[in-house]
């Protein structure tokens, strides 16, 4: 039985947390649909303490995938960058490379403390929405709205 993307990401998140991995440790999660392998790449230095937590990040990605009917077999990579989270996938038929970008913005809280979090609903890039970056047959095309 195939899991939906949200359930798959929830299970992955639970496994990573159980192993003591947090979003601060991650550089990328790579998905290989041919072998069903998931590779977790960690960095030498953790992201800032204010980096969004793994549950929030994977929940936002899972919601995007559910809304846009993205299948787990389409996932290729989640990159945990300093200023954004990037979700890389292929189109349903594998002809287009699609990248969703989830910017991390700094917000001021009470008493001068600040935190970084996924802005808005967590989504800034979308294949049919605000911005998308696609690689089509080896060429790059950027759609900006």
pLDDT in tens, 82-99: 999 999 999 988 889 999
What are the DSSP E strand ranges found in the chain? 26-32, 37-42, 75-80, 84-90, 96-108, 114-118, 131-136, 139-144
Instruction: Tell me how long the chain is.
Output: 145
pLDDT in tens, 56-67: 999 999 999 999
Domain total in the chain: 1
pLDDT in tens, 29-72: 999 988 989 999 999 999 999 999 999 999 999 999 999 999 99
CA distance 20 to 15: 9
Containing domain of residue 83, as a range?
A: 5-144
pTM for the model: 0.73
């Amino acid at each position: 039985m195939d899991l939906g993307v949200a359930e798959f990401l929830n299970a992955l998140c639970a496994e990573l947390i159980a192993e003591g991995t947090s979003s601060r440790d991650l550089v990328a999660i790579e998905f290989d649909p041919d072998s069903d392998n998931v590779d977790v790449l960690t960095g030498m230095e953790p992201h800032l303490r204010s980096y969004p937590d793994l549950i929030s990040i994977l929940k936002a990605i899972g919601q995007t995938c559910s809304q846009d009917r993205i299948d787990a077999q389409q996932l290729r990579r989640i990159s945990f960058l300093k200023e954004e989270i990037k979700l890389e996938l292929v189109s349903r038929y594998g002809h287009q490379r699609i990248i969703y970008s989830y910017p991390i913005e700094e917000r001021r809280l009470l008493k001068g403390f600040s935190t970084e979090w996924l802005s808005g609903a967590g989504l800034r890039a979308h294949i049919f929405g605000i911005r998308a970056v696609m690689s089509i047959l080896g060429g790059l095309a950027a759609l900006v709205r």
